Structures are given as structure tokens and as C-alpha cells.
Amino acid sequence: MYPFTYHRADTLGDAMAAADADGAAVLAGGTELVNWIRLGVSRPSDVVDINRLPDLSAIELADDTVHIGALARLNDVAGHALVRDRFPVLTQAIHQAASAQLRNLATIGGNPLQMTRCPYFRSEAPTPCNKRRRGSGCAARHGINDQHAIFGWTDDCVAVQPADPATALAAVDAVLVTESARGGRRIPARDLHVLPSQDPTAHHVLRPDEIVTRIELPGAARRSAYVKVRERASYEYAIVAAAVALEIDGTTIRGARIALGSVAMRPWRLHRTEQLLIDSTIGSTEVEAAVAAGFDDARALPHNAHKIPLARNAVLRAIERAAAGEPAMRP
């Protein structure tokens, strides 16, 4: 460990001003930041603790929208009646993210901001990684890349964004609300993360002094489900994941929203599949064809071609579960 200053913010204005300093890092749950400091990935000069900011952990319904304070802990979000009833896909995604102990600390505003788990990014020994050292290259491009991207990658970065809740939020058209001295924003969850073609060094679009204050989930997605494929049944990041929200009339799909996790540097919406699924029948070959069409643009790396059929089958399984209206599972 190395020395840094610690600042406990009591107001949002205080937090934004402190976070805007060069080398500052915001501390919420701490499950991400502490890990990166330990590995040497992050070396903040100042740590700004926002846990005492008032009114940032409430969960309430207003104007047919569920408003979730950014400091709400993951387990509190997953267990809340509004979320379990209206957005089972988010409850399911949270319950499959990390351990119960970590979910008691991690926040709904901080979790989607976590950085990639690419082993070259995490390496304590120097390896080429544009996200660690701009312009150094991407060791994973021609290295071990079995867990890496099948969508949206470039030669400058083939990493993936690993957050389970982020994938569910992208599938239900959630919006992140931010505050900043330069002016707050409303950022669609599907646009929060940065693809390598935009900037191979960045993880998300937030500015240094910009703080997520709440997440808004409009309407409801009661016919929704989250399927996570991983190497072991607990406390493991996804090989691939699928979040699906359906509108169904009998056995006919009237609307669909689908996001894939751990396949790109952002949750990847299958827009073509969503369009093709309209008016198709659950369990039909039309559904299989629509899902397959969503992978026409998938590009495998030398070691991860297996992720394409895994992701395709995860989507089909999630559609089945969403159509069946499976309740939000308990931890």
C-alpha cells in the first residue's frame, strides 16, 4: 500500500469538488476500488468517501418509474418489493453477482462502473494494455483471449465489461442520473460504457467530478429473466450472460429487449433480434432464427469461438424463462 489522503464528503457539492482533483477516486462500497489499489491498477492520490451523502439510498416509485438511490446496496435493491415485482431480471442478475457479503457492501451506482477483469489489465507485471498504459497495445489480442470480446472489439482492446447488474439495466432501458459542477446528465445504461473504437483507454463516459446519484427504471419488465453462464456456480464472473425483457400476448411476442453481458466492453443490445422477434411465437423456429440473426456480426478471437454458441443459447434460455414468468429467485 502507498500513502493517499482520505476525504469524507458530507454534501454532494463537497464530494464533486473533491472528486475533481487530479488523481482523486470516489469510494462507495469499496469492493472495486480497494481491490484495484491492492493490485496496483489504481493509485489515487485522494480517496473521496461518499457513503454519508444524504438521500442517496432510497428506493421508491414515482410517475411509473422505480427510482433507486446510487448508494443503495445490491442486496437491498435485489430484495426490494418494487424491484422483485417489476424487474425480476435485475434481482436475478444481482443475486448471481459476487458473494452475499460483497453484495451487502457494493452499491447499485458503483457496480456498473467496475473495470474490466482482463488478466492483462489486472497483471502486476508490465504487459501491453492500452487501458493501463495508453499506446502500449493489447496483449490479449494475440494472447490468451478465451474470455474476451466477440462484439465491438478492435486491435487496440478486446476486453469485456463484466458487471451483471449493468447488463440487466441495459436490457430494461434504465437511465443513470448524475450530478456535476459542470452540469448533470441523464445517461442511458446502454451508453454508459465506452467501446474500443471510441476510446480503447476508457471504461465509461463519466467525467472525474461526475457522480451517479440515482438510477431510474421506467415502467415494468415483469416477464424478464437473467441467464449467466460461468465456470462455477458461485462467485464467478460470466463467460457470457443474457438479460431478456419481453412483452407477451398469450404465446406471441409483442416486444423484446435483449442485452448480452461479458461479450463486449459494454452490455451488448441485440437490436436486430429484438425487431425480428416481434409477432413470433414462443418456442418456434422463428425465435431461434431471430436470435441467430443477432450474432451475424459476432467476431471470434483465436481462443473464444465457443462464446458465440454459448451466448446464443443463453439468450434462448432467457427468453424461455422470461416467457414462463419465473419469479425473481432468492439468494
CB atoms within 10 A of CB 142: 12
Residue 295 resides in a domain = yes
In a domain, residue 2? The reply is yes
H helices present in the chain, as ranges:
12-19, 33-39, 74-79, 81-86, 88-95, 100-103, 119-122, 164-171, 271-277, 285-293, 307-324
Tens of pLDDT along the chain (331 residues) come to 678 899 999 999 999 999 988 889 999 998 888 888 887 888 899 999 999 998 899 999 999 999 999 999 999 999 999 999 999 999 999 999 988 999 999 999 999 999 999 999 999 888 999 999 999 999 999 999 999 999 999 999 999 999 999 999 999 999 999 999 889 999 999 999 999 999 999 999 999 889 999 999 999 999 999 999 999 887 889 999 999 999 999 999 999 999 999 999 999 999 999 999 999 999 999 999 999 999 999 999 999 999 999 999 999 999 999 999 876 654 4
H-assigned helices in 227-295: 271-277, 285-293
At residue 316, the pLDDT reads 98
Q: Which of the listed residues 53, 74, 93 is the one where a domain comes to its end?
A: 53
Residue type, 67: H
Pairing of strands 59-62, 268-269: unpaired
pLDDT at 328: 63
- pTM over 0.75? The answer is yes
Q: Residue 67: what pLDDT?
A: 98
Are 61 and 37 within 8 A, CB to CB?
no
Long-range contacts of residues 13-21, Cβ cutoff 8 Å, at least 24 apart: 13/181, 15/48, 15/50, 15/53, 15/211, 16/179, 16/180, 16/181, 16/209, 16/210, 16/211, 17/181, 17/209, 18/46, 18/48, 19/48, 19/208, 19/209, 19/211, 20/181, 20/208, 20/209, 21/45, 21/46
Look at residue 232 and tell me if it is in a domain: yes
The dihedral through the CA atoms of 294, 130, 135, 305 has a sign that is negative
Rounded-to-integer distance, Cα 155 and Cα 134, Å: 14
Contact assessment for residue 65 and residue 186, using Cβ atoms and an 8 Å cutoff = no
By DSSP bridging, strand 211-218 and strand 240-249 are unpaired
Whether residue 261 contacts residue 227, with contact meaning beta carbons closer than 8 Å, is answered with: no
Distance CA 303, CA 318 (A): 25
Instruction: Write out the residue range of the structural domain in which residue 316 sits.
Output: 224-323
Q: Measuring CA to CA, which residue among 40, 100, 26, 37 is closest to residue 70?
A: 26
For residue 121, being part of any structural domain is answered with: no
Flag whether 293 is in a domain. Answer: yes
One-letter amino acid for residue 269 of the chain: R
Which of 114, 136, 154 has its CA nearest to residue 262? 114
φ, ψ of residue 67 to 5 degrees: the values are: -105, 120
Whether residue 312 lies inside any domain: the answer is yes
Domain contains 248: yes
CATH number of the domain to which 44 belongs: 3.30.43.10
CB 139 within 8 A of CB 130: no
Coil/strand/helix, residue 157: strand
**The domain spanning residue 307 has which CATH number?**
3.30.390.50
Domain presence at residue 45: yes
**Can you give the pLDDT at residue 33?**
86
* Count of structural domains, the chain: 2
